[in-house]
Amino acid sequence: VVQSLSFWDRDPEGGILWWAGEVGGFETVAVGGGVVRGVEEAGIGRGRGQGGQGGQGTRVQAAARFDAVAVNVPVYLTWLRERVVEKGGVFIRATVPVDRGLVGALEVARATVRRITGREGDVFINATGLGAGKLCGDEKCRPVKGQTVLVRGEADAIWTRLGEGYIAYVIPRPGSGTTVLGGTKEVGTWDERVSEEVTRRILEGAKGLAPELLTGRDGGFEVVSAQAGFRPGREGGARVEVERVGGFRVVHAYGVDGAGYQNSVGLAKEVEGLVQSVLGEDKAKL
């Protein structure tokens, strides 16, 4: 758990943050209480309010701090896999067709499970991300391209700056000696190439947020890598529900956009509840 600080170029959501009561240590530094000309003025930074991708020189209108979780993603995923294995889970890597629709893919998945484990699948969970668009014929699915930059050093907190048409953020990876800088959100594009111009803007936008990471010989960041990928976006939000199709019982869980890690535990609990409800129907019939 680390301290997270967020700054807005204008009052967020009319000055009301619905999640304020859901996080620990929440404190509004300035919301609707006049212009914070620099975060230094709010007593929570080192001139951090004046930088920002696309917001160079823009006044910070609102600021808040709260407790948040910074995750070292590769370590977290390894830990999750180990927990599943400890509980008897089996990982199977296989290819399923998408040109035969959801039922065709489920038939192949069921046959694969039967061949490897000797068991039938009672309920199938569809967490195929962007693949669900073609697999389920869901026209609401769309890619949301994001680009980030990994730099050396761990920032002393999570920092976020939000403005009109841009977001700049700094997220340390605990224990790795690195920090993720971002970011972008391009809806509907399938271009997976890393843009050098976007990388430049991300680095420029993060300078005012994490000056402690400016350790390069040129006074800038020490860049480890730049990467781009697609978030599984969906118009109207995630699809989390039960569907019965072709004799299969399916729990859909896709379309969370860029909130995969934030939503992962809560989404897993909701999916578990749906699976239990489906299995409970079987017991009721006995």
Please report, for the domain that includes residue 62, its CATH number: 3.30.9.10
122 and 248 co-located in one domain: yes
Under the banding of pLDDT at 50, 70 and 90, the label for residue 42 is very low
Same domain, 132 and 253: yes
Judge contact between 208 and 52, C-beta under 8 A.
yes
Considering the domain architecture, whether residues 156 and 217 belong to the same structural domain is answered as yes
Mark whether 149 and 214 lie in a shared domain.
yes
DSSP three-state, residue 283: helix
The structural domain count of the chain equals 2
Confidence of residue 286 (pLDDT cuts 50, 70, 90): low
DSSP secondary structure, 206-255, as one string: HTTT-GGG--STTSS--EEEEEEEEEEEETTS-EEEEEEETTEEEEEEE-
Question: Which two structure tokens, joined as six digits, stand for 200?
Answer: 């430049």
Cβ proximity of 29 and 48 under 8 Å:
no
The pTM assigned to this predicted structure is 0.85
Using CA atoms, how far apart are residues 250 and 267, in angstroms rounded to an integer?
A: 15
Mean pLDDT confidence for 7-27: 83
Q: What percent of the chain has pLDDT over 90?
A: 74
Tell me, yes or no, whether 58 and 106 share the same domain: no
HEC assignment per residue over 47-73 = CHHHCCCCCCCCCEEEEEEEEECCCCH
Same domain, 84 and 190: no
CA 186 vs. chain centroid, Å, equals 14
CA distance 140 to 252: 14
Confidence of residue 17 (pLDDT cuts 50, 70, 90): confident
pLDDT tens figures, 69-108: 999 999 999 999 999 999 999 999 999 999 999 999 999 9
- The residue segments making up the domain with residue 200 are 2-69+141-234
Residues in the chain: 286
pLDDT, tens digit, for every residue of 167-181? 899 999 999 999 999
Bigger pLDDT: 57 vs 255: 255
Residue 54 has a pLDDT of 46
What would the pLDDT profile of 234-252 be if each residue is shown by its tens digit?
A: 999 999 999 999 999 999 9
